[in-house]
Chains A and B, each alone.
Chain A
Amino acid sequence: MRTITSLAGAAALAVTIGAAGAAHAGKDLDAIKARGQLICGVSTGTAGFSLADSKGVWTGMDVDVCRAVAAAIFGDASKVKYVPTTAQQRFTALQSGEVDMLSRTTTWTLTRDTALGFDFTGVSYYDGQGFMVNKKLGVKSAKELNGATICVSPGTTTELNLADYFRANKMQFKPVVIEKADEIRAAFFTGRCDVYTTDASSLYSVRAANVPAPLTAADFVILPEIISKEPLGPVVRHGDNQFGDIVRWALYAMVEAEEYGITSANVEQMLKSEDPTIKRILGVTPGMGKALGVDEKWVVNIVKQVGNYGEAFDRNLGAGSPLKIERGLNQLWTKGGLQYSPPIR
């Protein structure tokens, strides 16, 4: 009955917020430590970002961010409980405390960062919204989509950008809106819609992983237009800045590690490095861990168990994965991309 749970979740939120006692600083982190586990809200299944295999083991870029946070807090990346959420349910789940954080292809917007009561802690993937169509339609550009029927998930920036784009270009469309990711994809593949729209990365993921036989990935094209900015990143709720800081710096640590050439393979040798920056990052020169309120070996734990940003990207989305997505905007700033960590000092 997942379909109606988002409303039930919202109702539960009304009750929890009504009954909850006064908040105090560090309450989320204390609760996580007491529980011995981080509860991370992920998607219900988007290959490359968060997907559970038949044994219930979660993998993906978004999952790796959760694991990095657990590695920072507990020194053990496996101390995570994953809670699958649809786009519609995710914010209620976070507001009500059902999850400690979200790491599920969620776009950083002003409203979410303010009125919804959240803080975005960084950008794990710079994305943009795209369109996918069946090749048979012969469509070459999004500008040709006037009158199309378009499959889209509710409660997303996608849904809003779509309406904006068609308004700006004086075109009409008919949305088909279904909450469950599987169902909306099925509606597209069976031909209920001409177009499927979501973050471009998810389009690549769906095309690589979800096309039902006898159709194949080659039957579908992703149109060249990218109609929006979708900076996807981890989210925490207002009220515990220390936990927010840990989530923020866990991701930065992965980026910083890549920039300084620290990998899961060489992190042990790097501990012997004479470079003062690397010594600081890896806690050989103490201070950073204490400032964050975690173990001084936090970055060592993250890199050893999860890898640096580049390793995680390759394994989940890039050359080492079925998706083969280019680094593009997600390349390090030193290589012409946007991934840039403030200094760990």
Chain B
Amino acid sequence: MWQQQQFDCIVVGGGPAGTTFAQVASRGGLSVLVLEKDRDIGMPVRCGEAISDKGLRYFHDPDPRWIQSTIDRIKLTAPNGTEIEFDLNDKGYILDRRIFDYDLAHMAVQEGAMVVTKAYVNGLIIDNDMVCGVKGNYLNTPFEIQAKFVIGADGVESRVGRWGGLRTQVKLKDMESGIQKTVSGIEVQSNKFEFYLSREWAPGGYLWVFPKGNKSANIGLAISGYYAKEGKSAQKFLDEFLQWKYPECSVLTTVVGGIPVDKTLKCMVADGLMLVGDAAHTVNPMTGGGISSGMMSGMAAAETAIELLHNKKEPTRANLNSYEKKWRKLRGKKHEKYYRIKEAIFRFDDDDLNRIADGIAAVKEEDRSLRKLFSIAVSKKPTLLIDVMRLFTGL
């Protein structure tokens, strides 16, 4: 029984970040236990399920069973209804995360990891300031298990980090309050990501329509906590949109969730503990996409765990530092830039967005180079230049 065993690593949370850690670490010869509190891996799907081809291929060749639609075009709708369309440089997919997450867990098990569902972790075992195991509850029976490392992959809640002394709380303005309905019976083009940008539709965030084939789509939105404070919830915004745009649709699933659109935590590790994925705030703060970046952090943490154990080094904070370094090189630095872009866009009001969209719409699609789009954006909103300067100088 797993309750009586000892493991090199215990992973709290069976999302893509946790199972990627488990797969890579097990392949590297470590014994890994994944504890997931829900009864199913991959359910409920709290996600728009969009991923780029590049982001997915970094880890796996796309399996047709994971792909609900392939996307090669984007449509943006401005507050005044102006629509802008363009082709994507890199194609994207809408995944079926029920199958994708399940397969990731399955791959980890095939490499030797053990996955347990309905296992709720409610505390850490700490000895001399070193995290060396977890406490929890499985089917109403308490358990305590020791391990050389604990991996906090517990998503937006990130309590494992807090118990280990890390500051994982997300500031209200950097938390997006999200809701999504999977709807059926609507006319939607199966090769297009659609985004709606306006403070009226989704203040401090955006609204998305991601096609899933067969006249169905994930329609969702996220609003910044900064605006949520004004008292109108994400649900009210989405219900209004659906009533206006798709009054006849059937809603097959509703999910909600928080998206930490923050810079990655300054400190992702403590003695005996590493945080990965949403728990470490690895989401791309500009787009809110966190599947591939979460997997990337899981992989980087696993490589560090393998190096330390093979070299018989203690999992001290100083030694785990190499995970933080790897992450910063892979994505962390970029995410700091994306965070500053997010902050700049955040200041756009609907008039700014309309002016920029109208300017871009006047240019023929084949002439829409990035340079051209940028110069239009700046001419329509000169202060954008200041924001962009800030972005590059880091002010």
Q: Do A and B come from one complex?
A: no
